Amino acid sequence: MIKAAILGATGYAGSELVRILSAHKEAELVWLASHSHAGESFSTVHPAFRGICDQVLEDDDIVKAAEAADVVFLALPHGIASGLVSADILSRTVIIDLGADFRLHDADVYESWYKVTHNSKELLPRAVYGLCELHRSEVASARLIANPGCYTTCSILTLYPLVRAGLVEECGIIIDAKSGTSGAGRSAKMGSMYCEVNESVKAYSITSHRHTPEIEQELSLAAGETVRVQFTPHLIPMDRGILVTCYARMRPGAGQEDVSRAYHEAYDGERFIRLCDAPPETRHVAGSNYVDISWKLDGRTGNIIAMGALDNLVKGAAGQAVQNMNIAFGLDEAEGLGLVPGAVV
Amino acid sequence: MIKAAILGATGYAGSELVRILSAHKEAELVWLASHSHAGESFSTVHPAFRGICDQVLEDDDIVKAAEAADVVFLALPHGIASGLVSADILSRTVIIDLGADFRLHDADVYESWYKVTHNSKELLPRAVYGLCELHRSEVASARLIANPGCYTTCSILTLYPLVRAGLVEECGIIIDAKSGTSGAGRSAKMGSMYCEVNESVKAYSITSHRHTPEIEQELSLAAGETVRVQFTPHLIPMDRGILVTCYARMRPGAGQEDVSRAYHEAYDGERFIRLCDAPPETRHVAGSNYVDISWKLDGRTGNIIAMGALDNLVKGAAGQAVQNMNIAFGLDEAEGLGLVPGAVV
Amino acid sequence: MIKAAILGATGYAGSELVRILSAHKEAELVWLASHSHAGESFSTVHPAFRGICDQVLEDDDIVKAAEAADVVFLALPHGIASGLVSADILSRTVIIDLGADFRLHDADVYESWYKVTHNSKELLPRAVYGLCELHRSEVASARLIANPGCYTTCSILTLYPLVRAGLVEECGIIIDAKSGTSGAGRSAKMGSMYCEVNESVKAYSITSHRHTPEIEQELSLAAGETVRVQFTPHLIPMDRGILVTCYARMRPGAGQEDVSRAYHEAYDGERFIRLCDAPPETRHVAGSNYVDISWKLDGRTGNIIAMGALDNLVKGAAGQAVQNMNIAFGLDEAEGLGLVPGAVV
Amino acid sequence: MIKAAILGATGYAGSELVRILSAHKEAELVWLASHSHAGESFSTVHPAFRGICDQVLEDDDIVKAAEAADVVFLALPHGIASGLVSADILSRTVIIDLGADFRLHDADVYESWYKVTHNSKELLPRAVYGLCELHRSEVASARLIANPGCYTTCSILTLYPLVRAGLVEECGIIIDAKSGTSGAGRSAKMGSMYCEVNESVKAYSITSHRHTPEIEQELSLAAGETVRVQFTPHLIPMDRGILVTCYARMRPGAGQEDVSRAYHEAYDGERFIRLCDAPPETRHVAGSNYVDISWKLDGRTGNIIAMGALDNLVKGAAGQAVQNMNIAFGLDEAEGLGLVPGAVV
């Protein structure tokens, strides 16, 4: 039985980890922490968990967590994890960081997009970018796993086969993303109030969203050359779910069959990726670890429109973190993740 | 492995049965039927289920279902089941009817509230009212289980301890119920359109909702005398969930401690009932088989306000149906129902 | 042209006042204040108003407001207005207070429900309870108008004809109320976050909501004897609207026709009250100053179920405040309030 | 007083026309028709209008409408208007068609996108495309006004200044559009059910949406050469509102100032277009005739992201239709359209 700890357990990603791990057969939650709720029970903060997880919350303390657990999940605001993790910690436990601190290989890129100093650059070479479908073998032997962002996971997985196979032009890729409100995190701020979000849609962080360099890093690796994307996120009046609608220009000569082959070569056999005929809908993946992907070529314009949908808290955060844990500990990759989408209704 | 069949599998209750049974360890879905989608695969109708349940749908045929399965779930409009079930069918399979036809012991009451003729009155004595917490032992040996209605389950479980213990006056009980829109079923009608439901709340079926006699039947049995309730349902702009707010006049001499004792005596040990300090919220039970119950006495008015919350599709329909199956087949009552509420977000 | 000022202009009730008054033909907004946004323009805070109201916000200062304006609307948290208003202020301007401080005639009742000290008890005899349909003539000559609460307006108007005509028993009245989230005000708090409100319903302030004594005060006046009500509010995932479902026991001998006569006698000729055959829906009044009222007697139980719906920000706050201004200044009572409900969709 | 008639009055666009015209000072509704509700009163179908519009609905009959009214609004499914309108009708009344039949100058384009035969091609030369800000002077003398589509109005107005000024490359323009559910119209179909739309987002009509040729027609006229766009609409869980996020490649040498100048030259003085600093939000225009437009250049990618928001039922349908009527009849263009966005909450 793998012992698991969570720092930042009461946020939306943290509590989704609790939801998934409380039904995991090979892992047990031994240590939960929340800075703002230390001393309270988890189910006091989240009454949905009464009888499921009534553990008392500790204060965030990575040393104690590392002592208690084989794997420590960090679900903390960016900039904090890089000050907590150290070589010593990594010698004692596996870290799966749901934040951004170890996702970008280049500390300068991190600092320029996040406007903070990176506090443990020396660990970056040891960090593995935990997009399971792309880096499975590296994850298997990693001690420090940087769990990808929600928008990032959806964007990369949707575009990866096209870029890897060289079917689309690298420049000019547009990613128009739509996210439910849980992506904004669990803290009381005006922009996340019910009456400010409900019955409206808007773009935000135009040209400057921090998931951009993460997407570019991975697509560039896949392409073997620099890929630049235009990434624009939008806030949607719903709880969960991300849909990305990606636009790219087809390379001359590339056609329908090449695209189909590229997707199938990349993803056939993947248990959490479903290639669909119809455009994906976020409700079809809500609550599950699935990514639904679909595409359409437009002969009139020469573009391909590729779409992906996932649950930002599951495959976009906690679900993928558990998938990474399963890989790192040699378990069945799908253990605890047989979550049936709860969204027929 | 128990073989299960579903008639009416593509409706909201039917597909929730598929969701639950597809993760059930002791049962397998061997036969699915839908009159309007016969010949299509289940996952074509409900793309959320791609890779989870891709079975081809049969047409509704209870004889074939009974041949194929140890248990047949009926998720059909009221009035149909009573024409399908027969002594012969019951000799070959266990029927769990999610509709209304076998819930009321008195066929006259049924016919007067439902305005249809009951086609198999002779079977009524064999039908067990499948509110698990109240009729567990009868369910254990039943061949024909009438799964209770969604409003009914919530209302009865919330009021049962008070009525059984004689703590409140039988006359004058008010049940003000609020339900998500999935309760209206999966058929295209104007009143269930997004723009007609969204951003609004209304009462409906005032004084005449068909769940009323079902509630009165069970509370009268518990009280040992006739109980009349005023039941008023409301439509809420959300997918899932029922909240009932019940008002009753405390009997002279009955107090806080009596109430607490009554609830604990009735429900301590029940795995799906949670007695709560704070008022229940439907999101805390969404996706799960829990009923959350809370109450408050008002010294100023002499009333008790008792509240219950459940997911209308789970404990209010498919979850309770599986719970009944588990009981009837001698399985762990909670098998397949360890559903963690998905509603922290 | 009447000069109007608003203190607390950026809250939901305040900005609704701006919306209504910006289209009012006999009043002009000369002075707007917001403590937290002083120095910003109103349309910076509320971009919906670009080009409609771009005034720079002052800090809350009732003396300056009274100098500038013939009427000052106070849209402030309870407990503040009673410290601002004075006989001197009232000699210079008319005050319409959207808060609670001057609604209850008895300061002790105020202090016991609100848990604060009332700072200007001497003004209470001068305050008029501004429920226009009940106190029109007093409002006409008032200098200090206490605008009723949102739940209160809806509850009183729904029950008033029944109570005044003595058709129902005074004891045992139940008011089960449902409100959109704007009723919680415009401040960043966890309980009003999108993901905490969406897809859920719950009761709150059970037995203790502060609108209770206000309802009892007015219904007792109408009945000529003490009326006690059980008032339970619920939070609904929508922006605007209140629905109250009221339950009362019919007096022996009182019937359908008496009820109909009582409502028509009370409200025929009222421009903002619509007596409806079907149960009212909040979307049918959203954005307007209407109250829709309907009722049904239940011969089976001896109860009457009376329902009322209004927009909590219009007839429940800003609309009624403008209606009061119109009455107090001798204008057409409906000026500026010809708001067509925007809620067909 | 202008006499106005509406065919298709009970749909969402039709009833929005009723909402606006019922408060219009220079027009009166003299004739309302609805094929499916003929004989009922308008307020029976839409109880929100009780006391505002209680007229009895006629059956759709353009001859009677033309006899009764100076202007007839057609709010009918596409393909019907082209069979109703004739030179004779136009000699007797002004037609403002909210459908698609007269929007495209080229009947072949119409027939190829709509897959129906156009029944009055001879009238196309007389039809004016009623995008008021672009074709004001033609509208002023028109007898047959083709009111633009909702997506179209938003897309064209957002891109027009850029295209007209030649600041962006004509090829490669991407329009990613998001719409509330009222855009799907008021008819009971599965895809518009509450539980199918709520808590989800999806793209639809990818590469094939019928508003595409309309956008291309107008942008090509503005550019003086053929413009091709990639238009992708999405369904959003909200009632009203459209947001378009447009992506275009800046021409070499074109910069921030050129863009700003182009927008101001195009729209300064326009009463319903607001150029905004922050990204537009649909709630800021809901219920009003405004279009909010904003843009941002990305030096990193060389793209401009231009965004526009409007209410699909107002500026995207009924509001613009009334604006066209005002222009055609020589009234103040804004009469009846001083609608304050109702969407602070």
How is C238-266 classified by DSSP, letter by letter? SSS-EEEEEEEEBPTT--HHHHHHHHHHH
Q: Which residue from A minimizes the CA distance to C194?
A: A194
Residues A275 and A180 in one domain: yes
Q: Which residues of chain A have pLDDT under 70?
A: 343-345
The answer to whether the beta carbons of residues C180 and C282 sit under 8 Å apart is yes
- In the structure, what pLDDT confidence band is assigned to residue D344 with cuts at 50, 70 and 90? low
Cα B315 to Cα B312: distance, rounded to the nearest angstrom: 6
Q: Is the pLDDT of residue D345 over 90?
A: no
Helix crossing, C107-114 with C212-223: angle to 10°? 150
Cα C217 to Cα C207: distance, rounded to the nearest angstrom: 16
Residues D95-100, mean pLDDT to the nearest whole number: 98
The answer to whether the beta carbons of residues B3 and B72 sit under 8 Å apart is no
| Partners of A237 in beta bridges | none
Structure tokens at B216: 């009165």
Q: Which residue from A minimizes the CA distance to B195?
A: A199
What are the tens digits of pLDDT across the range D322-331?
A: 999 999 999 9
Rounded (10°) CA dihedral C175, C176, C181, C184:
50
Chain A residues touching residue B314 (CB < 8 angstroms): none
Residues C293 and C155 in one domain: yes
CB atoms C48 and D276 under 8 Å: no
Q: Domain containing A70: what range?
A: 2-148+314-328
Residues C81-89, mean pLDDT to the nearest whole number: 97
Q: Is the pLDDT of residue C345 over 80?
A: no
Residues D254-274, mean pLDDT to the nearest whole number: 98
Q: Tell me, what's the pLDDT at A342? A: 75
Positions of B annotated as catalytic residues are 150
Interface of C with B in 51-70 (CB under 8 A): none
Chain A residues touching residue C189 (CB < 8 angstroms): 188
Cα D195 to Cα D215: distance, rounded to the nearest angstrom: 32
Instruction: Tell me, letter by letter, the H, E, C secondary structure of B246-269.
Output: EEEEECCCCCHHHHHHHHHHHHCC
Residue D341 lies in a domain: no
CB atoms D188 and B186 under 8 Å: no
CB atoms B236 and C172 under 8 Å: no
Residues D130 and D210 in one domain: no
Q: Tell me, what's the pLDDT at A340? A: 87
- Considering only CB atoms, A238 lies closest to which of D237, D243, D280, namely D237
Cα B88 to Cα B91: distance, rounded to the nearest angstrom: 5
Positions of A annotated as catalytic residues are 150
Residues D300 and D181 in one domain: yes
What are the tens digits of pLDDT across the range C165-209?
A: 999 998 899 999 999 999 999 999 999 999 999 999 999 999 999
B47 CB within 8 Å of a chain D CB: no
Side chain identity at residue D172, one-letter code: G
CB atoms A48 and B345 under 8 Å: no
Residue D163 lies in a domain: yes
Residues C76 and C192 in one domain: no
Those chains having 3 or more beta-carbon pairs within 8 angstroms of chain C are A, B, D
Total domain count, chain A? 2
CB atoms B307 and C203 under 8 Å: yes
Q: Which residue from A minimizes the CA distance to D246?
A: A176
D200 CB within 8 Å of a chain B CB: no
Instruction: Tell me, letter by letter, the H, E, C secondary structure of chain A.
Output: CEEEEEECCCCHHHHHHHHHHCCCCCEEEEEEECCCCCCCEHHHHCHHHCCCCCCECECCCHHHHHHHCCEEEECCCCCCHHHHCCHHHHHHCEEEECCCCCCCCCHHHHHHHHCCCCCCHHHHHHEEECCHHHHHHHHHCCCEEECCCHHHHHHHHHHHHHHHCCCECCCCEEEEEEECHHHHCCCCCHHHEHHHHCCCCEECCCCCCCCHHHHHHHHHHHHCCCCCEEEEEEECCCCCCEEEEEEEEECCCCCHHHHHHHHHHHHCCCCCEEECCCCCEHHHCCCCCCEEEEEEEECCCCEEEEEEEECCCHHHHHHHHHHHHHHHCCCCCCCCCCCCCCCCC
Q: Is the pLDDT of residue C339 over 90?
A: no
3-state secondary structure of D326: helix
Cα C184 to Cα C233: distance, rounded to the nearest angstrom: 12
A345 CB within 8 Å of a chain C CB: no
Residues B100 and B11 in one domain: yes
A190 CB within 8 Å of a chain B CB: no
| Residue in A99, A9, A101, A124 with CA at minimum distance from that of residue A56 | A9
In percent, the amount of chain D with pLDDT more than 70 equals 99
CB atoms B236 and C241 under 8 Å: no
CB atoms C247 and B230 under 8 Å: yes
Residue B135 lies in a domain: yes
Residue D63 lies in a domain: yes
CB atoms B195 and D239 under 8 Å: yes
The answer to whether the beta carbons of residues D235 and D185 sit under 8 Å apart is no
Residues D158 and D289 in one domain: yes
Chain B residues touching residue C207 (CB < 8 angstroms): 296-298, 300-301, 305
Residue C341 lies in a domain: no
Q: Which residue from A minimizes the CA distance to C180?
A: A195
Cα A261 to Cα D279: distance, rounded to the nearest angstrom: 39
- Considering only CB atoms, A12 lies closest to which of B182, B340, B345, namely B345
Q: Tell me, what's the pLDDT at D342? A: 75
Positions of D annotated as catalytic residues are 150
Residues B319 and B306 in one domain: no
Structure tokens at D36: 């499916």
B41 CB within 8 Å of a chain D CB: no
- Considering only CB atoms, D278 lies closest to which of C12, C47, C340, namely C47
Residues D74 and D105 in one domain: yes
CB atoms C194 and A190 under 8 Å: no
Cα D279 to Cα D292: distance, rounded to the nearest angstrom: 9
What is the residue-averaged pLDDT of chain C?
Answer: 97
A19 CB within 8 Å of a chain B CB: yes
Q: Tell me, what's the pLDDT at D340? A: 87
Positions of C annotated as catalytic residues are 150
Q: Tell me, what's the pLDDT at C39? A: 98
Q: DSSP letter string over B303-320?
A: EEEEEEEE-TTIIIIIHH
Chain B residues touching residue C200 (CB < 8 angstroms): 238, 241, 281-284, 286, 343
- Give the global pTM: 0.97
Chain D residues touching residue C52 (CB < 8 angstroms): 340
Residues C89 and C175 in one domain: no
CB atoms D49 and C240 under 8 Å: no
Cα A97 to Cα A139: distance, rounded to the nearest angstrom: 13
- Considering only CB atoms, D192 lies closest to which of B12, B181, B193, namely B193
Structure tokens at B84: 């399908």
Chain B residues touching residue A46 (CB < 8 angstroms): 344
Those chains having 3 or more beta-carbon pairs within 8 angstroms of chain D are A, B, C
| Residue D109 CB coordination number (10 Å) | 15
Q: Which residue from C minimizes the CA distance to A240?
A: C195
Cα A272 to Cα A333: distance, rounded to the nearest angstrom: 10
Chain A residues touching residue B274 (CB < 8 angstroms): 50-51
Cα B75 to Cα D174: distance, rounded to the nearest angstrom: 46
Chain A residues touching residue C237 (CB < 8 angstroms): 194, 198
What are the tens digits of pLDDT across the range C42-76?
A: 999 999 999 999 999 999 999 999 999 999 999 99
Interface of A with D in 239-278 (CB under 8 A): 239-241, 243, 245, 247, 249
Q: Tell me, what's the pLDDT at C104? A: 98
Chain C residues touching residue B172 (CB < 8 angstroms): 172, 249
Residue C255 lies in a domain: yes
B282 CB within 8 Å of a chain C CB: yes
C194 CB within 8 Å of a chain A CB: yes
Residues D119 and D243 in one domain: no
Interface mutation vs chain B, best among D194, D196, D236, most B CBs within 10 Å: D194
pLDDT in tens, chain B (345 residues): 999 999 999 999 999 999 999 999 999 999 999 999 999 999 999 999 999 999 999 999 999 999 999 999 999 999 999 999 999 999 999 999 999 999 999 999 999 999 999 999 999 999 999 999 999 999 999 999 999 999 999 999 999 999 999 999 988 999 999 999 999 999 999 999 999 999 999 999 999 999 999 999 999 999 999 999 999 999 999 999 999 999 999 999 999 999 999 999 999 999 999 999 999 999 999 999 999 999 999 999 999 999 999 999 999 999 999 999 999 999 999 999 988 887 555
Q: CA A83 → CA A57, A88, D135, D311, distances in Å?
A: 22, 13, 61, 47
D183 CB within 8 Å of a chain C CB: no
- In the structure, what pLDDT confidence band is assigned to residue D90 with cuts at 50, 70 and 90? very high
Residues D165 and D230 in one domain: yes
- CATH label of the domain that carries residue D46: 3.40.50.720
- CATH label of the domain that carries residue C229: 3.30.360.10
D345 CB within 8 Å of a chain B CB: no
CB atoms B237 and D194 under 8 Å: yes
Interface mutation vs chain D, best among B12, B190, B195, B202, most D CBs within 10 Å: B195
Residue C344 lies in a domain: no
Residue C162 lies in a domain: yes
Q: Tell me, what's the pLDDT at B339? A: 87
D267 contacts: CB under 8 Å, gap ≥ 6: D133, D161, D273, D275, D293
| Residue in C272, C338, C284 with CA at minimum distance from that of residue D44 | C284
3-state secondary structure of D152: helix
Residues C312-321, mean pLDDT to the nearest whole number: 98
